[in-house]
Amino acid sequence: MTAPRDDARHTAGDGTHLVATRHGLGRLTGDGDVELLDLPYADVAALLRAGAGLAPARAAAVRRRLPLDALAGDVVAPLGGTPAVWGVGLNYHCKARTTGRPLPTQPVLYLKSPNAGSGPDDTVPLPTSVSAQSDYEGEVALVIGARMHHTPAERAWAHVAGITAANDLTCRDVMVASGSPTLAKSFPGFGALGASVLGLDAVADRDAIGVRTTVNGELRQQASTADLIFPVPDLLAWISRYVVLEPGDVVLTGTPTGTGQDRGCFLSPGDLVEVTVAGVLPLRTRFRAETPAQAAGTPAAQAGTPAATAEPDPLPGDARPSPPLRTESLMP
């Protein structure tokens, strides 16, 4: 029998801080600029699937350097091509205290549909035709950088490329009625990730990564991963006992207390939710009412967000749009 592969040769904890834009991958600098890189990858997930972690982004030549503000509206989901997003149920002690639920003895896991993804500053429709309880869940998301299978906890961090922010949106009433977290969490846009990916070596304290959520500017959640019931190494080791985690996959670490369910108030059209994870650009998601066409399931109404499909505008100072991304190396 072939031994399980435990490949951490290409760890990506190199301090790189990346954004995906409609003009290609960008590397954030310490002074607030973005260096657009000469790389053929559409987003960070595609870069990681190439097998060398974040190292190519650190070494890549710079095509153009711009202030981050100059790319307003052009920053897109950094992990838009992610095929697997794993989530975990109750995983914060503070959440257990708020709800009065007993501490779980093992992680309770679920998958989100890859078709549920959204990115920074996207507007997400609330599925009011089937739910009156759409809720936010600010979370620290782990981005896998090297393949994991039967990986022990003491080696788990070596397989993490970096971190990002997540809003693990959930229809509470759908979860109760269906008994399915996957169904309740996989509506279009309900898998918000971004706005950047911070390399692991740039994380100040990997055992206490802060997460903060506001709704319309009001603080709703604030905690750190030091309060996790199942710390990151144990969580990753548990998942990899059963499934293979590939580069570019995402693991959500759970949400702390302060959700709409805890407060008895759910999302409404016009709300703005901002999730901030230590060192990562804020993830902002706006919400609007579901249109009649979306409620009826009209195919055209289910199309992707404009940020994911629109032709890039010219960069500041350019006379014509940037050339299209090279995509040949995205093939398996």
CATH number, domain with residue 212: 3.90.850.10
| Phi, then psi, of 183 in degrees rounded to 5 | -65, -45
In a domain, 169, yes or no: yes
Residue 224 sits in which domain range? Answer: 78-291
Q: Is the dihedral angle over the CA atoms 75, 76, 77, 79 positive or is it negative? A: negative
Residue 56 maps to a domain: no
Q: Do residues 252 and 82 lie in contact, with contact meaning Cβ atoms separated by under 8 Å? A: no
Q: What is the pLDDT of residue 295?
A: 74
The count of structural domains within the chain is 1
Asked whether residue 201 is domain-assigned, the answer is: yes
The pTM is what?
0.87
Instruction: Count other C-beta atoms under 10 Å from residue 169's C-beta.
Output: 27
Q: How far is CA 52 from the centre of its chain?
A: 20
Does residue 313 surpass a pLDDT of 70? Answer: no
Q: Is 145 helix (H, G, I), strand (E, B) or coil?
A: coil
3-state DSSP call for residue 183?
Answer: helix
Regarding predicted confidence, which is higher, 127 or 304?
127
State what percent of residues in the chain have pLDDT above 70. 85
User: Is the Cα dihedral 200, 274, 22, 85 positive or negative?
Assistant: positive
Q: Which two tokens stand for residue 248?
A: 């570019």
In the DSSP assignment, the letter for residue 73 is T
Residue 325 has pLDDT above 60, yes or no: no
Token duo for residue 163: 């971190």
Q: Could you tell me if residue 58 is inside a domain?
A: no
- Partners of residue 211 on adjacent β-strands: 223, 277
Q: State yes or no: pLDDT of 15 exceeds 80.
A: no
Please check whether residue 97 lies inside any domain of the structure. Answer: yes
Is 313 within the bounds of a domain? no
Closest among 225, 165, 227 to 196, alpha carbons compared: 165
Q: Read off the tokens for 249.
A: 């996959």
| Coil/strand/helix, residue 109 | strand
Alpha-carbon span 44 to 50, nearest angstrom: 10
N-term to C-term CA, the chain: 25
Q: How confident is the model at residue 328 (pLDDT cuts 50, 70, 90)?
A: very low
- Amino acid identity for residue 30 in this structure: G
In a domain, 306, yes or no: no
Q: What is the residue-averaged pLDDT of the chain? A: 89
Q: pLDDT tens-digit profile of 274-294?
A: 999 999 999 999 999 998 777
The pLDDT tens digits of the residues spanning 227-273 come to 999 999 999 999 999 999 999 999 999 999 999 999 999 999 999 99
Q: Could you tell me if residue 54 is inside a domain? A: no
Contact status, residue 191 vs residue 185, Cβ threshold 8 Å: yes
